[in-house]
């Protein structure tokens, strides 16, 4: 019986630590200024996004993903990969928008690494929409015209 009690305590400890870590991440997220994601001079973000929207095919998703990673880096979001940097923004964006960014990033990875991967016009537009919502919520378009 003591053995089961120790396992329960270990599991509860892990759960408690996990909850504390998530709480700390949320608190840090509250103090991470969204204005810090506005890394370009006024009008530059919209200009870059307009250029991406003119690109045809898979490359549009790849370029939008690359722009997003560049913004995260310029905003001093740490991480060894883009995935690490996206994770750091979980507590400062809407959960649906966060998941949308993940979906778009996974699609980008699939396009880059799967030579036979082909997506249609609707999938491209949906991925671009998800990335743009993420960037808007981060505040990357803050000084630009209304998006």
Closest of 24, 41, 20, 42 to residue 32, by C-alpha: 24
How far apart are alpha carbons 7 and 54 in whole angstroms? 57
pLDDT for the residue 117: 84
Mean pLDDT score, 121-145: 91
Per-residue pLDDT of 88-125, as tens digits, reads 999 999 999 999 999 999 999 999 998 888 889 999 99
Percentage of residues in the chain with pLDDT exceeding 70?
80
Global pTM? 0.74
Residues 53 and 59: beta-carbon distance below 8 Å: no
Instruction: Retrieve residue 57's tokens.
Output: 């095919």
Residues 135 and 92: beta-carbon distance below 8 Å: no
What lies within 8 Å, CB to CB, of 127 at 6+ separation is: 61, 64, 103, 104, 107, 108, 119
């Amino acid at each position: 019986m003591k053995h089961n009690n120790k396992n329960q305590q270990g599991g509860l400890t892990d759960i408690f630590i996990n909850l504390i870590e998530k709480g700390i991440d949320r608190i840090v997220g509250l103090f991470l200024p969204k204005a810090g994601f506005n890394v370009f001079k006024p009008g530059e973000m919209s200009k870059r996004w307009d250029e991406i929207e003119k690109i045809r095919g898979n490359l549009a998703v790849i370029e939008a993903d690359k722009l997003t990673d560049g913004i995260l880096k310029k905003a001093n979001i740490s991480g060894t990969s883009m995935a690490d940097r996206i994770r750091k923004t979980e507590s400062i964006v809407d959960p649906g928008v966060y998941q949308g960014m993940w979906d778009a990033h996974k699609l980008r990875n699939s396009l880059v690494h799967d030579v036979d991967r082909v997506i249609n016009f609707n999938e491209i537009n949906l991925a671009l929409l998800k990335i743009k919502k993420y960037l808007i919520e981060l505040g990357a378009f803050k000084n630009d015209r209304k998006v």
